[in-house]
Each structure stands twice: as structure tokens, then as C-alpha cells.
């Protein structure tokens, strides 16, 4: 009994370390990572984050802050490549949905519907390069 | 002399008035047909949608492949 409790504790500790390691590796704010995992926010097809459910003020602030920062990096990179900010954002959005959402996370199709990532390929915007 | 001139003027005026009356009478159907032939402009029943996606150039999206990869790699906190 005592051994099993110790093992459970060890397993939980390892799990916690692993989770924080993933969060650290991705460089995401834990609150943002948590909002993604719990399906409160998702990736939109236009390259920005969106609210799957009406957000709390904390989640709203978090997402708006990230979207402003995203727009800044899109603008900078768009300028360097002779593209518009919208083109750069859309192209990155294609990649974010296809490559950066994991199973269980939400993404939005170009028609505006929220979907949950599973093992299958996501429904990308028709303009996304294949 | 002055009276004679007035009579002449009045006669001319009367002739013009009679002629004009006839002209109006003849032109009335013509004017009516022109008025009924007005161009009708009606507001569309559907809302006017301006598709902003038209600004996306497909060939540019292909060229942005490396740039989008770079943006994600270099800004881990915002993606």
C-alpha cells in the first residue's frame, strides 16, 4: 500500500514535470497553454487566435495580447517578403492549424465553424498551399 | 400708327398662341410615353457583400512557406 502511494506520487510528479517541460519547450505562457488544451481558445484560419466560448476577462486579455504580438510579427515578415499582412497571417494560419495544433485542440474552418483536432487531417482554408 | 402696331403685334401673338396650343395637344402623348419609359432603379433585396479575401494573392502564399516557418520558430511565445 505504502509502495503504491509512493509510486503514484512519483508518477504524478513526473507527469507534472513532463507537462511543464512541454509548456516550457513550446515557450507558451502556462495560462495560454491551459486555455488551448481546455478548448477555450483555438486557431482561426486567418492566423489569429479566437474564442471558442465566450471568454473570461483574463482569457480575453491573454488572447488579445497574443493577437497583437502576432500581428506585429506578421507585419514585419510581410514587409520583408513583399506580401500583405493578411497574406502572411493566412499562410502562417495554415501552418499553425496543420502543424501546431495537437489532438484535442480547437481550430476554425474558413466557414467559421470550430472543430476539434483528432488523428485526421484538419479542414484547411482552400487557399492554403497543399 | 402706334395703334396699328399694337394690332399687328396682337395678331402675331394670337397666331403663336393658337399654334402653341396645337403643338401642346400634339406633343402630349409623346411626352407621356417618354415619362413612362423612365429607368427604374430598385435597391437589391440581398445585402451588398464586399469580399475582402480578394486581396489574398495565391502565388504569394506559396512564396511565404519559409517565412511562415521562420515566424513560428522565432516567436515561440505567441504561437
Q: Which three cell numbers stand for residue B26?
A: 400634339
Interface contact B75-A69, CB threshold 8 A: yes
Interface contact A83-B62, CB threshold 8 A: no
Domain ranges of chain B: 2-39+51-78
Predicted pLDDT at A113: 95
Predicted pLDDT at A20: 47
* Per-residue pLDDT band at A21 (split at 50, 70, 90): very low
Interface contact B75-A73, CB threshold 8 A: yes
Residues of B at the A interface, defined by Cβ within 8 angstroms: 52-53, 55-58, 60-65, 67-72, 74-79
Q: Is the per-residue pLDDT at B41 higher than 90?
A: no
Residue A111: alpha-carbon gap to chain centroid: 19
Residues of A at the B interface, defined by Cβ within 8 angstroms: 26-29, 66, 69-70, 73-74, 77, 80-84, 86-88, 90-92, 94-96, 100, 127-129
Q: Is the per-residue pLDDT at A124 higher than 90?
A: yes
Q: What angle do CA B61, B67, B70 make, to 5 degrees?
A: 145
Q: Is the per-residue pLDDT at A55 higher than 80?
A: yes
Chain B environment of A94 (Cβ under 8 Å): 61, 68
Q: Is the per-residue pLDDT at A53 higher than 50?
A: yes
Is residue A105 within 8 A of residue A39, CB to CB? The reply is yes
From B2-6, B42-46, B62-66, the region with the lowest mean pLDDT = B2-6
State the smallest CA–CA distance between residue B28 and chain A in angstroms. Answer: 58
Q: Which three cell numbers stand for residue B60?
A: 504569394
Is residue B76 within 8 A of residue A27, CB to CB? The reply is yes
SS3 per-residue string spanning chain A? CHHHHHHHHHHHHHHHHHHHHHHHHHCCCHHHHHHHHCCCEEECCCCCEEECCCCCHHHHHHHHHHHHHHHHHHHHHHHHHCCCHHHHHHHHHHHHHHHHCCCCCEEECCCCCEEECCCCCCCCCCCCCC
Is residue A52 within 8 A of residue A39, CB to CB? The reply is yes
Q: Is the per-residue pLDDT at A12 higher than 60?
A: no
Interface contact A88-B57, CB threshold 8 A: no
ipTM of this predicted structure: 0.77
Measured between alpha carbons, how far is A114 from A97 in angstroms, rounded to an integer? Answer: 12
Amino acid at each position: 500500500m505504502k509502495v503504491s502511494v509512493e509510486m503514484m506520487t512519483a508518477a504524478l510528479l513526473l507527469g507534472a514535470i513532463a507537462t511543464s517541460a512541454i509548456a516550457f519547450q513550446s515557450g507558451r505562457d502556462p495560462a495560454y497553454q491551459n486555455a488551448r488544451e481546455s478548448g477555450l481558445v483555438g486557431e482561426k484560419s486567418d492566423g489569429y487566435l479566437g474564442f471558442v466560448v465566450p471568454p473570461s476577462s483574463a482569457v480575453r486579455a491573454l488572447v488579445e495580447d497574443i493577437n497583437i504580438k502576432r500581428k506585429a510579427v506578421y507585419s514585419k515578415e510581410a514587409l520583408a517578403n513583399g506580401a500583405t499582412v493578411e497574406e502572411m497571417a493566412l499562410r502562417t494560419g495554415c501552418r499553425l492549424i496543420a502543424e501546431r495544433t495537437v489532438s484535442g485542440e480547437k481550430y476554425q474552418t474558413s466557414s467559421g465553424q470550430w472543430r476539434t483536432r483528432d488523428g485526421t487531417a484538419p479542414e484547411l482554408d482552400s487557399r492554403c498551399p497543399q | 400708327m402706334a395703334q396699328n402696331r399694337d394690332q399687328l403685334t396682337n395678331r402675331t401673338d394670337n397666331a403663336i398662341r393658337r399654334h402653341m396650343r396645337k403643338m401642346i395637344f400634339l406633343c402630349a402623348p409623346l411626352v407621356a410615353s417618354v415619362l413612362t419609359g423612365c429607368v427604374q432603379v430598385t435597391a437589391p433585396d440581398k445585402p451588398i457583400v464586399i469580399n475582402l479575401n480578394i486581396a489574398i494573392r495565391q502565388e504569394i502564399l506559396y512564396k511565404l512557406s519559409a517565412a511562415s516557418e521562420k515566424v513560428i520558430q522565432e516567436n515561440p511565445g505567441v504561437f
